[in-house]
Amino acid sequence: MEDAVTIRLGYQIPNFTYPGVPVEELFDTVIAQAREAEGAGVDTVLLMDHFYQLPGIGTPDNPMLEAYTALGALATATTKAQLGTLVTGNTYRHPAVLAKTVTTLDVASKGRAILGIGAGWYELEHDDFGIEFGSFTDRFEKLEESLTIITGMLKGEQPTFEGKWYTSRNAMNNPRIRPTIPIMLGGSGEQKTFRLAARFADHMNIICAREDIARKIAVLKQRCEEIDRDPATLPTTWHATVVMAESEGEAKELLLRLPEARQAVAFVGTPDQVTEQIQRDVLDQGVDGLTFNLIPNGYVPGAVTMAGEALKRLVA
């Protein structure tokens, strides 16, 4: 396991709906966001791994780019930021194929890939694409088997594995540019996700209500200690929706673009107001870093810079 914090400040691009932007210019807007984030001091740029837009952000038919194709293109358009997903749906790809895919991203980006991964949850995508969804237990069994195969392949081993869900036979993974690639698990499950993170992950991105953060951190430490892992070797981030503007009034107007359920959990206000909230409610609860999105902004040039420069002061 790596003993350095994998992510201190990550910017997630949560949608590809940009009013007035034709499809042929859509990816130019994605590149502009990634470059702006990089310039503002954000250390990691993240995409969602979905085929449809998520409830609470838009409708399923809204534009949604395939994550790893888009990340490969961003590898040539950025120079410093780590690149990954928040997070890859394990069920969408065979683990050996996923290991090959993220390793190719690592080569293309000259060593900037992170493998964010979770069990998968969006049933509609599975049904429409003909991918088996299965039960909650099924999906976590699959995730554990996948991680067993993937961790070996990322290290250049040739794993042979016969599981309930997946098999591999001397699976090779060349070329590689680093001894391994950091693995980030995303989620909040104390029994399954946190146990897998303690065993396999270099980083844990916690997704939960802010009032639950301190308890989640305590449980994650406990899961590490149960297998004699130093909790300090499993750094954490927490994922926040940020609504930030120069004035509180402007921020409240932006907030109205969010569905009510997301309005209730967003951090809203001026840069100073938002950073104060996040310091108190997130970082003071024991989290090491932050991932954030700016859903209501769509993409307005300067918005990512404002948020990135404000938030990086918290995690410097």
pLDDT digits (tens, 9 = 90+) for 28-70: 999 999 999 999 999 999 999 999 999 988 999 999 999 999 9
For 188, residues 6+ apart whose C-beta sits below 8 A from its C-beta are: 206, 207, 208, 212, 216
Q: Report the CATH number of the 9-315 domain.
A: 3.20.20.30
pLDDT at 186: 96
Q: Cα torsion for 161, 50, 47, 64, to the nearest 10°?
A: 140
For 222, residues 6+ apart whose C-beta sits below 8 A from its C-beta are: none
Distance CA 151, CA 167 (A): 14
8 Å CB contact between 131 and 125: yes
Distance CA 134, CA 115 (A): 23
- When mean pLDDT is compared across 180-194, 232-246, 288-302, the lowest value belongs to 288-302
Residue 1 pLDDT greater than 50, yes or no: no
pLDDT at 236: 97
162-204 per-position pLDDT tens digit: 999 999 999 999 999 999 999 999 999 999 999 999 999 999 9
Residue 283 pLDDT greater than 90, yes or no: yes
Question: Which pTM was predicted?
Answer: 0.95
Q: What one-character DSSP code corresponds to residue 113?
A: B
Burial call 186-211: b when 16+ CB within 10 Å, e when fewer: bbbbbebbbbbbbbbbbbbbbbeebe
Tokens found for residue 74: 């961003």
Residue 120 pLDDT greater than 50, yes or no: yes
Residue 239 pLDDT greater than 80, yes or no: yes
Mean pLDDT of the chain: 95
pLDDT at 4: 52
8 Å CB contact between 98 and 150: yes
Q: Domain spans of the chain?
A: 9-315
Distance CA 32, CA 310 (A): 19
Distance CA 111, CA 83 (A): 9
pLDDT at 171: 97
Distance CA 83, CA 103 (A): 12
Residue 291 pLDDT greater than 70, yes or no: yes
pLDDT at 316: 84
pLDDT at 2: 42
